Structure 1
Amino acid sequence: MKNVLAENYSLLRVRVLLVLLFSVFWLQVGAQNPNITDTLSDKIIERVLKDNHDLSDKRKSFNGYPYAFYTPESQFAVGAGGIFISYLGTSAELKPSKLGFGGYYSTNKQYKISLSPELYLLRNKLYISAPMSYGFFINKFWGIGDDAPNNDNADYSQKTFAVMIGVQIPPWLFSADRTGIILDYNHTDIVDKKGNELLLSDSINGNSGGQIFGIGSDLVWDSRDNIFFPNNGAYQYFKLVFYPDVDGYLFSLLELDVKGFVAVAPDHVFAMNFYVQSTTGDAPFYYLPSLGGPKRMRGYFSGRYRDNFYGMMQLEYRQYIWKRLGFVAFGGVGNVSNSMIEYNFNTMKYSGGVGLRYLFNKKQKVNLRMDIGLGSGGNHGIYFGIQEAF
């Protein structure tokens, strides 16, 4: 047992080193690109001086909206949501804080209520986030691995309460913009296994649900010129969280999220996203890195493929075409595997699609989005949301 744990954590250290080297590489690329190193503060100060606006004129804004949508996960659903945007200070470089909220109910009796505050204070030197949600979900579990077969009896239902609190400040070490502490709590109850043979077996870790609590840290590099619809800049995020033994789950989770944006003309943007997530230890199946969903590999049911390691890349072109209406075209490749060294490029999954955008907050450039995603093997999905997928 000790040899297994030593091997796992040795592999984890190798992953952390590789990820940090990759992050440093992207920072160096950003430093050599004048379009990327233009900071938000430079652009706002220039605009203020040009337009002779007083910084105290930064106003609060609120946008609410009803919506209806269909996804493979929820089927047809109706709901309402909104976003409240405000500046918690008057400094020129201050980024807008936001409070997003929403809720929906679907035809398969699924529901979710969510609240997502993100606060920028002290000239962006203090960042606080606390996304939380509660819901009942009709989910699917096909098994673990990149070759999990289709199964007509993959359904199960769960109730989940989740909250993640993050507090970030400028770091003393590293050349990051912010670093901080993460507290993650999740309580999942497997309400009904619905005859799913995999979950009826005790061989699947987490088949009865339970509680997990994690503590970790993260690093952020952010040079985007707008946090809602960037034209230029980059965003890199690194996270490492350890989950001590609660309800029998002892594991760690590593995440790397790299985004880049280049505009060929104002609001004609090419966006790139490289994403890696990895677990080591005894994570419950519903916390394993999973392929699919409304943000990455659109077109696949969220969790269609699950395993200890997940890596993907997606590209997207965004453009406004008439007044407040816009469109996007996107494509992505990705896969899951038992470990990073076992990642199989021969079984890669592909996705692509198009989407419509409506600019409902012109001042902050916040969009409502509707995407149609297609995956291989007949996988597909329609997604509705607020803000861009990445």
Structure 2
Amino acid sequence: MKTKFNTKFIALLITILFVTNAVRCQENKSVKNISILPVPVIGYSPETKTYLGAVTLFTFNNANDTLTRTSNAKIEFNYTWNKQLILESDWNYFFPKEAWFTRGVIHYSKYPDLYYGIGNNTSESGEINFQSNRLIFDLDLLKNIKNKLFFGLGIDYKSFSNFEYLNDGESYPELKNANNFGIKVLLLKDRRNNILSPTKGNYFEFNNSFNFSSSFYFKTAIDYRNYFGLGKTNKHILASRFYHSSIFGNPPFYDYAMMGGDKYVRGYYLGRFRDKNFSSIQLEYRTNLFWKIGLATFGGVSMIYEKISSIGNKSFKPNAGIGLRFLVDKNENTNLRIDYAIGSQNQSGFYISFGESF
């Protein structure tokens, strides 16, 4: 445990040093349409041994187009001493005057993962450490119908192959080669003032997907977020999020509704609990302390369950955490986010990322 903490702390120091340098270079120049923030990553875990990588954030806009919010893209690369690999790129891009909006993810990895089975009461003793080759391609294209109300379609392809068990333990028949192709129908209203670090406005998304794998299944999700400035200067921000997803049919193990991770419920390993339904309410308070340093506290409660009639005490999963914010791009109000969160059943998580969780 001590080794993990030390390597994370070292990685954190290196990250801050490099980002600080990137900010200084940017501040000494005139404002440009494109900002590039590279961050190196170094760390250690028992599954991967030493790993090295880099994350680069690109933000870009047209200074002459005041109707269009700033777009962003991220490229991530990780490589381990065990010859494991992660390559990922994701983006959020507004066309001029926000007439159209596109977002997506391209991901390839050969990397270890943990699996505990399906349900809200799975045991730590049933943990399986496995490795697989994963390919993900997710693309959405939406048209601005009126006043930042977007409607559009998307496609989603996932493939998991070449499974390899990295420890002895329980056998799960669902851990096998699988792939799926999905067609999405999306409706969203996005009135946030900033995509990466919103301080006011709201966001609503209704996402439905028709998926084809070994059998057909349907997914639906609702995502609603609000941002409020407290006080006259809006130095204090209160953010809230309600999220719900449901699965109808029998998806591959990787496409169940999952809680945890950096984006949904910090404090739980992503996929620690998965089932047909997932609901979550999260609150976060953010404020600037001094200079470029900010503070955030957050928490919430989530439910993971097969069906409404099966909801019980084990369905509810609380989480809480605290984090630091380091302003890396003053023009776009972009933060480097450093969070630590805890959940129930001895779950916890440490996160470093650009922008807010929601």
TM-score range, shorter chain: 0.7 to 0.9
Q: 1:297 corresponds to which residue?
A: 265
Higher percent of residues as strand:
2
> Is the 8 Å Cα contact of residues 75 and 107 (structure 1) preserved in structure 2?
yes
Matched residue of 2:117: which SS?
coil
Size of the alignment, in residue pairs? 325
> Is the 8 Å Cα contact of residues 114 and 133 (structure 1) preserved in structure 2?
yes
Q: 1:370 corresponds to which residue?
A: 338
Picking from 348, 351, 354, the partner of 1:386 is: 354
Structure 2 alignment gaps of length 5 or more: 1-30
Matched residue of 1:123: which SS?
helix
Matched residue of 2:58: which SS?
strand
- Deviation digits for residues 336-365 of structure 1 (CA, Å, limit 9, x no counterpart): 111245433564111111111111111101
The alpha-carbon deviation at position 196 of structure 1 amounts to: 4.4
The alpha-carbon deviation at position 236 of structure 1 amounts to: 0.8
Matched residue of 2:251: which SS?
coil
Q: 2:138 corresponds to which residue?
A: 164
Q: 1:177 corresponds to which residue?
A: 149
Distance in 1 between the 2:32 and 2:353 partners?
A: 26
* Aligned amino acid, residue 170 of structure 2: E
The alpha-carbon deviation at position 136 of structure 1 amounts to: 1.8
Q: 1:220 corresponds to which residue?
A: 188
Picking from 205, 208, 212, the partner of 1:237 is: 205
> Is the 8 Å Cα contact of residues 227 and 238 (structure 2) preserved in structure 1?
yes
CA pair 68-329 structure 1, distance change in 2 beyond 3 A: farther
Q: 1:127 corresponds to which residue?
A: 101
Q: Percent same amino acid among aligned pairs?
A: 25
Matched, 1:264 2:249: no
Greater RCO (CA < 8 Å, at least 6 residues apart): 1
Matches within 5 A, 1:1-390: 59-68=33-42, 77-87=51-61, 90-106=64-80, 110-151=84-125, 153-171=127-145, 177-194=149-166, 195-199=168-172, 201=173, 204=174, 207-244=175-212, 246=213, 248-265=214-231, 266-344=234-312, 347-390=315-358
The alpha-carbon deviation at position 219 of structure 1 amounts to: 0.7
Distance in 1 between the 2:88 and 2:130 partners?
A: 22
Distance in 1 between the 2:254 and 2:235 partners?
A: 38
Structure 1 alignment gaps of length 5 or more: 1-56
TM-score (norm 1): 0.77
The alpha-carbon deviation at position 209 of structure 1 amounts to: 2.1
Distance in 2 between the 1:319 and 1:187 partners?
A: 41
Higher percent of residues as helix:
1
The alpha-carbon deviation at position 108 of structure 1 amounts to: 6.7
* Aligned amino acid, residue 233 of structure 1: G
> Is the 8 Å Cα contact of residues 159 and 180 (structure 2) preserved in structure 1?
yes
Two-structure CA RMSD over aligned residues (Å) = 2.4
- Deviation digits for residues 225-284 of structure 1 (CA, Å, limit 9, x no counterpart): 22222221111111000012x4x1321111111111111142311111111111111201
